[in-house]
Amino acid sequence: MLDWRTLAAIALGGGFGSVLRYVVGFAITQRLGPGFPWGTFVINVTGSLIIGLVAELSATRALGITPLVRVFLMVGVLGGYTTFSAFSLDMVTLVGDRAAGLALLYGFGSLACGFVAAFAGIALVRALQP
């Protein structure tokens, strides 16, 4: 349901997640150096772990996670921290729905299209610059 509390929870969580992403990425890059994107890798993997935990805890109501807390954590915090976590949960859900072929298509398609889109964006800006 779209109401002001839901939107406020997403906005607050998104701000927190974005700052957390910056801090974690910065700390890891400072420690391990910029040669490989370890910061992004760690952020994506930890975000995927956390979204799995929150999704399951929400589904089982193990900790009494309300829909508002769920949207704060999953859409807000993890959306700001990484969108890779949502991608990972989508993959797990497709596999759980016995749609492994579709999960593979979605996974490879998302990666390939994301790569091509990022490359195209860079190429477009470079082409438009004098």
Q: What is the DSSP letter of 90?
A: H
Residue-level pLDDT at 15: 97
Residue-level pLDDT at 89: 85
Ordered alpha helix ranges (H), the chain: 4-32, 38-60, 67-71, 78-81, 84-96, 100-128
Residue-level pLDDT at 86: 78
Residue-level pLDDT at 79: 92
Residue-level pLDDT at 65: 85
Q: What is the pTM of this model?
A: 0.78
pLDDT < 50 regions, the chain: none
